Amino acid sequence: MKRTHHNGELRLAHVGEPVTLVGWVSRRRNLGALVFIDLRDRSGIVQITVDEKLAEQVKDVRNEYILQVEGKVVERQDKNPKMATGDIEVYAETITIVNTAETTPMIIADETDALEDTRLKYRYLDLRRAPIQNNLMLRHKVTMLTRNYLSDQGFIEVETPILCKSTPEGARDYLVPSRIFKGKFFALPQSPQIYKQLLMVGGIEKYFQIARCFRDEDLRADRQPEFTQIDIEMSFVDEEQVWTIVEGLMKEIFRNLKQTELPAFPRLTYNECMARYGTDKPDTRFGMEIQNVSGLFQNTEFTVFKNVLEQPKGMVGAIVAAQAADQFSRKEIDKLQEFVKIYGAKALAWLKMANGELSGSVAKVLKPEEKTALIETLELKDNDLIFLIADKAKVAQTALGALRIKLGRQLKLIDESQFNFLWVTNFPMFEYSEEEQRYVAAHHPFTSPNLEDVDKLMSDPENCYSRAYDLVLNGYELLSGSIRIHDQHVQEKVFEAIGMSMEEAREKFGFFIDAFRYGTPPHGGVGIGLERLVMILAGTDNIRDVVAFPKTASASDLMSEAPNTVDEKQLKELHIALEK
Which long-range CB contacts under 8 A does 251-256 form with residues at least 24 apart? 252/145, 252/149, 253/142, 253/145, 253/146, 253/533, 253/537, 254/419, 256/141, 256/145
CA distances from 192 to 197, 229, 339, 481 (A): 9, 9, 39, 13
Smallest gap from Cβ 520 to its own copies, in A, equals 6
Identify residues 480-499 at the interface with its own copies (CB under 8 A).
486-487
Residues in the interface with its own copies (CB under 8 A) total: 120
Give helix 530-538 / helix 239-258 axis angle, nearest 10°: 40
Closest CA to 471 of 140, 249, 238: 249
Among 10, 39, 48, 187, binds its own copies (CB under 8 A): 187
What's 161's DSSP letter? P
Smallest gap from Cβ 554 to its own copies, in A, equals 5
Smallest gap from Cβ 457 to its own copies, in A, equals 19
Identify residues 164-183 at the interface with its own copies (CB under 8 A).
164-166, 168, 172-183
Q: Is 212 annotated as a binding residue?
A: no
Contact 561, 227 (CB under 8 A): no
Among 27, 28, 76, 147, binds its own copies (CB under 8 A): 147
Name which of 101 and 402 has its Cβ closer to its own copies. Answer: 101
Q: Is 531 annotated as a binding residue?
A: yes
Smallest gap from Cβ 259 to its own copies, in A, equals 20
221 binds its own copies, rule: CB under 8 A: no
User: HSE of 1 in the Cβ direction (CA atoms, 13 Å)?
Assistant: 9
Binding mask 260-279 for its own copies (x = CB under 8 A): --------------------
**For residue 22, what are the β-bridge partners?**
68
H or E stretch including 41?
A: strand 34-41
Identify residues 193-212 at the interface with its own copies (CB under 8 A).
194-195, 198-199, 201-206, 212
Among 4, 30, 94, 151, binds its own copies (CB under 8 A): 151
Identify residues 23-82 at the interface with its own copies (CB under 8 A).
24, 40-42, 64-66
The count of other CB atoms within 10 Å of the CB of residue 579 is 4
Contacts of 28 (CB under 8 A, 6+ apart): 35, 36, 37, 38, 58, 61, 62, 63
Contact 229, 191 (CB under 8 A): yes
Name which of 206 and 532 has its Cβ closer to its own copies. Answer: 206
Identify residues 535-574 at the interface with its own copies (CB under 8 A).
547-549, 551, 554-557, 559-567, 570-574
What string of DSSP letters covers 364-394? TTS-HHHHHHHHHHTT--TT-EEEEEEEEHH
Smallest gap from Cβ 135 to its own copies, in A, equals 11
Smallest gap from Cβ 552 to its own copies, in A, equals 10
Name which of 125 and 388 has its Cβ closer to its own copies. Answer: 125
Among 158, 309, 365, 402, binds its own copies (CB under 8 A): 158
Name which of 376 and 568 has its Cβ closer to its own copies. Answer: 568
Segments of 201-299 assigned E as strands: 206-214, 226-235, 267-269, 291-292
Contacts of 155 (CB under 8 A, 6+ apart): 206, 207, 208, 232
Binding mask 91-130 for its own copies (x = CB under 8 A): -------xxxxx-x-----------------xxxxxxx--
Q: Is 14 annotated as a binding residue?
A: no
Return d(Cα 73, Cα 150) in angstroms, integer: 44
Smallest gap from Cβ 576 to its own copies, in A, equals 5
Q: Is 460 annotated as a binding residue?
A: no
Q: Is 530 annotated as a binding residue?
A: yes
Smallest gap from Cβ 46 to its own copies, in A, equals 15
H or E stretch including 19?
A: strand 18-31
Q: Is 217 annotated as a binding residue?
A: yes
Please confirm whether the linkage preceding 563 is cis (ω < 30° from 0): yes
Identify residues 412-451 at the interface with its own copies (CB under 8 A).
none
Q: Is 224 annotated as a binding residue?
A: yes
Q: Is 334 annotated as a binding residue?
A: no
H or E stretch including 508?
A: helix 502-515
Q: Is 484 annotated as a binding residue?
A: yes
Q: Annotated binding site for L-aspartate, which residues?
A: 169, 215, 443, 484
Q: Annotated binding site for ATP, which residues?
A: 215-217, 224, 477, 529-532
